[in-house]
Chain A
């Protein structure tokens, strides 16, 4: 009975893995297919990777995506961390008001957030482009930062800070050396969360981008409408591998380091 149960659950796990990875595997395989056809294998090639590398639109989209993700996560983290500290000190009424506004972009459907930002930019005659995508991304990143930092702010101890002041540190020094390290886990996870949210966003970018600027998501969307080139498969493979390696390192490097220490 136990054996049957475990066989069944293994079977189930495998089915879900198949469902999740078969499509991705397909993209990887097709990226090495020399023909354009998706139904036939016509030989191995790495040409699509070369073509992808040489394709200025793809490379520009890749650059934009990463730069926007980094900048928006960074600005959101700075603004959000400072705000989290301050909000924690506020009277319940103002705290509630600010927190409910903060949660709006998370509760709202992306399409509504995107449209409201687009209308606002146009109403105030801000032409759509790189900077409007950036501002939009900062906006939807903020709640993630606040929500990650808030719990750490609540737990932070005041005594060490005061001790630092007593020992002659300026408040700014004390903030940098004592408070910030305590908040750091929340700050980093907020940054990472914001970074990935920005990387993956399509809908808000779709509405706030201007002509001639693309991120990976909007590029894929417009390519699909024109007919998919196999360079898109090469791009998918590269992105999947990057995500895989980054997450592996992020998740397991600390553990490996620990194990190594132990064996040493």
Chain B
């Protein structure tokens, strides 16, 4: 209270009131300007000057490209690439939707592409600018048409399956036969040996497929049965994880794990020279097929550069080089010819698509109500 006078005294020189008022205004205005200036409000987006002429903004999942390829592209085309990564598709979606940061080229998965098409966030690709599309196998384009009818929006980048990765040594020791079906993951002898996927669609796919249902079902009874199965399975599951499956399998933390087929080669490479052996099984009941593909958001500012980028990635030598780095199966037939026979013979990585398509499915976008059917039940599983 003694400061009353101290501060009050400032008043004596009355101009100070003005000074302080101005100063405080400037401080706040300055801070908010910096804050808001860094971010972009909706209005700003329309007013933003066209970005640096020769820059392409790419948005991709983490560790999902050979970094040298970005350098090669920059060198060959003179286009400067700003490359950002996201961790999950759920994190990516609101960024594109809100348009806070504007990307020219993004690489989501099938059901997410379907959602983006549905919500009018994408623009059609001009194939005149992508002559290398001829190297993408017809089978894969046909598969991609499932979520992108007419192949208007998406150019496939990688594809694969979801399956069971198992450690043969550990299973032998436990005296458990190697898994061939999803229902093998309900074997109580596998207590604390199973790594499940911590994502709602993948977890439910396992239980739904096990019971012979579609992994896109919206039938509450089928979903309830799957939920009950997942709850029953929970006590023998070691952990629900996402990307950790890879490292945990390498570290022999668990005997079986549910994994994307793109990770198999990485795990096997890491284990080469050790006495640990892992194998991959695509369960008999069928599984989820997935495709990751490049798309161009509606608000992209450099559509032509994006198409140059896609075209570059579709070039056989580039696709082959990239495959060797990320080990996710490529749909590029030109690249397949350049690859080692050894890879192609690996049926886990390159399964027979015709056989697969009989039993397996892509995920489809189910809309908010459909998603809620899954999410609520998943919460029940996690809470029990």
Contacts and interface: CB of A to CB of B under 8 A. Distances in A.
Interface of A: 36-38, 75, 78-79, 82, 85-86, 88-89, 121-122, 124-132, 134-135, 153-154, 156-158, 161-162, 165, 170-172, 174-175, 179, 210-212, 222, 224-228
A164 to B, nearest CB: 10
B35 A131 contact: yes
A131 to B, nearest CB: 4
B4 A89 contact: yes
A50 B272 CA distance: 25
A211 B95 contact: yes
Given A75-B31, A225-B244, A226-B243, A125 B7 contact: no
A126 B247 contact: no
B13 to A, nearest CB: 6
B36 interface: yes
Contact of A131 (B24, B38, B243): B38
A129 B100 CA distance: 9
**Most B CB atoms within 10 A — which of A38, A126, A211, A224?**
A211
Contact of A211 (B10, B35, B40, B91): B91
Interface in B321-358: none
Contacts of A222: 87
B365 to A, nearest CB: 21
Contacts of A75: 31
Given A165-B12, A211-B95, 18 more contacts: A36-B251, A75-B31, A82-B24, A86-B7, A88-B1, A89-B8, A126-B36, A127-B39, A130-B38, A131-B38, A134-B35, A158-B2, A162-B9, A210-B95, A225-B242, A227-B243, A227-B247, A227-B248
B326 to A, nearest CB: 14
B107 to A, nearest CB: 13
Interface of B: 1-10, 12-13, 16, 24, 27, 31, 34-36, 38-42, 59, 84-87, 91-92, 94-95, 98, 100-101, 241-244, 246-248, 251
A78 B101 contact: no
Contact of A212 (B13, B40, B86, B98): B86
Interface SS of chain B: helix
A232 B352 CA distance: 40
Contacts of B251: 36-38
B38 A129 contact: yes
Interface SS of chain A: helix
Contact of B84 (A130, A170, A211, A224): A211
A224 B239 CA distance: 13
Given A75-B31, A165-B9, A212-B86, A156 B243 contact: no
Contact of A225 (B24, B41, B243): B243
A6 B105 CA distance: 69
A125 B3 contact: no
A127 B3 contact: no
Contacts of B39: 121, 126-129, 131-132
Q: Nearest 10 CB-CB pairs, A to B?
A: A127-B100, A227-B247, A131-B38, A226-B243, A171-B10, A161-B6, A158-B5, A212-B84, A126-B39, A158-B2
Contacts of B7: 85-86, 89
A1 to B, nearest CB: 49
A158 B84 contact: no
**Most B CB atoms within 10 A — which of A129, A135, A174, A227?**
A227
A135 B35 contact: yes
Contacts of A127: 39-40, 95, 98, 100-101
Nearest to A121: B39
A127 B96 CA distance: 11
A150 to B, nearest CB: 11
15 contacts: A122-B98, A125-B98, A126-B39, A126-B100, A130-B38, A132-B39, A154-B1, A154-B3, A156-B3, A158-B6, A161-B5, A170-B13, A212-B86, A226-B242, A228-B247
